[in-house]
């Protein structure tokens, strides 16, 4: 009986061997998380496959085995190719691009990048393994150790593998089957985890799950178009501008006490009291796509149902007769060249939803954010009596050096006295601060455009970024968020409201409320409430207690970062 336990493997020993090695190659060269569990989990997976083959009638078993080979090698090659071509293994963005772009485009896009350089070493390994398997097809090892091996050793080892991989199997089951919203799905898999979707096949399943959940959200949004309930609009503010920045860590803004002059123009505006800097604002997530969903939706943390069950605020504006412009340096409707923003922008670029949200959009991205001003100038002719303009910057996104033209470089490594950092790190730090300085120029240029209008502007970046603060030695974003430093740098964001002189004169009541609110704790998932209030739109989705400048604003609302971390509690600790 105990010998029987290994009969499936012994009958399919070639299959088991080559599948294990193939899995191991993927594991070693693609997997970024811990691999310790996966090495053993792979044993279990191959073992189970062998049982499947063993239980089937011989003829069927041969066909199924062939199918397994095709899928396993095919996916391993595609997966490895993606890693070297796109910097990421199979994921929902990539799958979506393959499914949604037409075939000719997809083939062109893929083949145009097949160069000898992209055929990398691990990819060669996979092909080499395949060739070896084909060339040794005549060889069927007798498995001499069969009789020498004490089956109990094998059984114990197998049990050990099962035990060690059980947790990861539960993790995959939970993500693929139990999770019901795309927010929860992204959240659950953002955490570092020993194991995870460790094989290309599992990654494909996970990608499909992500796409299907996102599709559900898009469907819900589509279904709800035109069903928004609006009671009326007073057009309190005729021109509302929302600037959504990118990766701005508040602690690098001079406006918030940073030692270097990174925001001279915003400082000047704050000094003449036309700009009110809010002191205690955090982002709900540290990923652009997540923040976009929550910021645009009338939903907020702690509300019933999903973000897609609520209307998006630009829809309400548009329904009320506001001209809604979206001028983005990231999510332009053509996404062929912007594969990594595809996932985040997918609901915005769905034709029906796009039409319900915006009156006008720009159609190209720019190397530097200042290019968006050209787009605004050309769209400006469409401005009507009531306008909502949403700027979406590339801001201080990683690759800091690429975010500003050389002529705007001001901070140099010699301006920093950080003995704990390497020369390269100090350069990176200077690049970030230069990007902050350039951002200052961009936002002040936007303000210039609205100086003579009856206009109010709100600035918020999507989230912050790690940038060597407080003696830390890292920059960019961390996948998981554990320490106070990681929270503070990635979630503390600058947030300000500027109003033109004519706005302050015509709406002294609103301006008074803005000034009174500047020290309130706020999380930007509720930004829609403020905007709706500023427009004077009355609708059932408005919650006075969530409106940052309302006298009835609830300062005690829990600010749960990533649905998970109580910001105020974590900061106090
Ligand atoms: Zn972002």
Domains of the chain: 4-219 (no CATH), 235-572 (3.40.720.10)
DSSP H or E run through 242: strand 239-245
The DSSP secondary-structure symbol of 496 reads E
User: Cα of 289 to ligand 1 centre, how many Å?
Assistant: 7
Sign of CA dihedral 27, 33, 39, 40: negative
User: Cα of 345 to ligand 1 centre, how many Å?
Assistant: 12
Which is more confidently placed, 278 or 192? 278
Contacts of 66 (CB under 8 A, 6+ apart): none
- Give the per-residue pLDDT at 16: 93
User: Cα of 246 to ligand 1 centre, how many Å?
Assistant: 5
Distance between CA atoms of residues 26 and 561, nearest Å: 33
385-404: average pLDDT:
95
CB under 5 Å of ion ligand 1: residues:
246, 288, 462
Contacts of 46 (CB under 8 A, 6+ apart): 9, 16, 19, 20, 23
User: Cα of 248 to ligand 1 centre, how many Å?
Assistant: 9
Indicate whether 489 pLDDT > 90: yes
Q: In terms of Cα–Cα distance, which of 398, 333, 400, 385 is closest to 360?
A: 333
Angle between helices 371-379 and 423-450 in degrees, nearest 10: 20
Condensed to tens digits (0 to 9), the pLDDT of residues 211-240 reads 888 788 889 999 999 999 999 999 999 999
Distance between CA atoms of residues 20 and 249, nearest Å: 45
Distance between CA atoms of residues 370 and 391, nearest Å: 11
Condensed to tens digits (0 to 9), the pLDDT of residues 124-147 reads 889 999 999 998 887 766 655 555
488-492: average pLDDT:
96
Let me know: does 228 contact 316? Beta carbons within 8 Å. yes
Condensed to tens digits (0 to 9), the pLDDT of residues 415-435 reads 999 999 999 999 999 999 999
Strands 537-538 and 522-523: unpaired
DSSP H or E run through 221: helix 200-224
* Residue 300 binned pLDDT confidence (cut-offs 50, 70, 90): very high
- Give the per-residue pLDDT at 13: 87
Let me know: does 533 contact 497? Beta carbons within 8 Å. no
HEC profile for 48-115?
HHHHHHHHCCHHHHHHHHHHHHHHHHHHHHHHHHHHHHHCCCCCHHHHHHHHHCCHHHHHHHHHCCCC
23-49: average pLDDT:
85
Of 66-75, 155-164, 347-356, 527-536, the least confident:
347-356
* Residue 349 binned pLDDT confidence (cut-offs 50, 70, 90): confident
- Give the per-residue pLDDT at 501: 97
User: Cα of 361 to ligand 1 centre, how many Å?
Assistant: 20
């Amino acid at each position: 009986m105990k010998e029987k336990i290994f009969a499936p493997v012994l009958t399919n020993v070639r299959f088991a061997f080559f599948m294990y090695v193939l899995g191991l190659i993927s594991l070693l060269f693609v997997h970024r998380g811990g691999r310790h569990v996966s090495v053993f989990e792979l044993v279990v997976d191959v073992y189970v496959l062998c049982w499947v083959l063993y239980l089937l009638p011989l003829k069927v078993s041969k066909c199924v085995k062939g199918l397994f080979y095709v899928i396993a090698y095919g996916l391993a090659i595609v997966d490895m190719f993606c890693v070297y071509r796109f910097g990421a293994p199979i994921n929902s963005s990539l799958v979506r691009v393959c499914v949604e772009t037409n075939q000719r485009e997809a083939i062109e896009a893929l083949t145009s990048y097949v160069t000898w350089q992209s055929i990398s070493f691990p990819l060669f390994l996979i092909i080499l393994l395949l060739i070896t398997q084909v060339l040794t097809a005549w060889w069927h090892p007798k498995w001499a150790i069969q009789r020498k091996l004490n089956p109990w050793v094998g059984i114990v080892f197998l049990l050990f593998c099962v035990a060690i991989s059980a947790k990861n199997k539960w993790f995959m089951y939970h993500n693929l089957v139990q999770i019901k919203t795309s927010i929860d799905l992204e959240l659950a898999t953002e955490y570092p985890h020993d194991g995870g979707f460790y094989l290309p096949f599992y990654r494909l399943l996970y990608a499909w799950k992500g796409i299907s959940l996102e599709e559900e959200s898009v469907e819900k949004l589509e279904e709800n178009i035109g069903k928004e309930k609006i009671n009326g609009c007073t057009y309190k503010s005729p021109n509302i501008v929302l600037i959504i920045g990118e990766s701005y860590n508040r602690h690098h803004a001079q406006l918030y006490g940073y030692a270097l002059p990174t925001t001279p123009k915003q400082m000047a505006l704050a000094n003449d009291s036309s700009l009110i800097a809010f002191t205690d604002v955090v982002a709900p997530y540290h990923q652009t796509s997540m923040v976009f969903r929550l910021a645009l939706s009338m939903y907020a943390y702690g509300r019933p149902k999903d973000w897609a069950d609520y209307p998006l605020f630009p829809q309400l504006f548009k329904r009320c007769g506001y001209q809604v412009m979206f001028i983005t340096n990231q999510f332009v409707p053509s996404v062929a060249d912007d594969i990594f923003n595809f996932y985040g922008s997918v609901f915005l670029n769905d034709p029906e939803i796009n039409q319900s949200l915006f009156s006008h959009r720009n159609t190209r991205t720019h190397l530097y954010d200042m290019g968006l001003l050209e787009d605004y100038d050309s769209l400006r002719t469409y401005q009507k009596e009531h306008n909502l303009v949403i700027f979406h910057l590339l801001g201080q996104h990683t690759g800091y050096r690429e975010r500003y033209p050389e002529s705007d470089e001001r901070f140099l490594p010699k301006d920093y006295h950080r003995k704990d950092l390497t020369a390269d790190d100090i350069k990176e730090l200077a690049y970030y601060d230069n990007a902050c300085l350039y951002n200052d120029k961009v936002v002040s240029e936007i303000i210039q455009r609205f100086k003579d209008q009856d206009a109010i502007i709100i600035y918020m970046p999507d989230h912050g970024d790690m940038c060597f603060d407080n003696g830390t030695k890292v920059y960019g974003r961390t996948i998981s968020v554990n320490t106070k430093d990681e929270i503070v740098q990635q979630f503390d964001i600058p947030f300000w409201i500027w109003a033109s002189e004519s706005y302050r004169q015509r709406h002294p009541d609103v301006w008074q409320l803005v000034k009174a609110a500047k020290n309130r704790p706020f999380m930007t998932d509720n930004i829609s409430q403020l905007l709706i209030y500023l427009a004077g739109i009355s609708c059932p989705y408005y919650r006075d207690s969530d409106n940052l400048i309302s006298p009835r604003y609830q300062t005690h609302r829990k600010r749960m970062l990533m649905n998970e971390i109580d910001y105020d509690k974590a900061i106090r600790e």
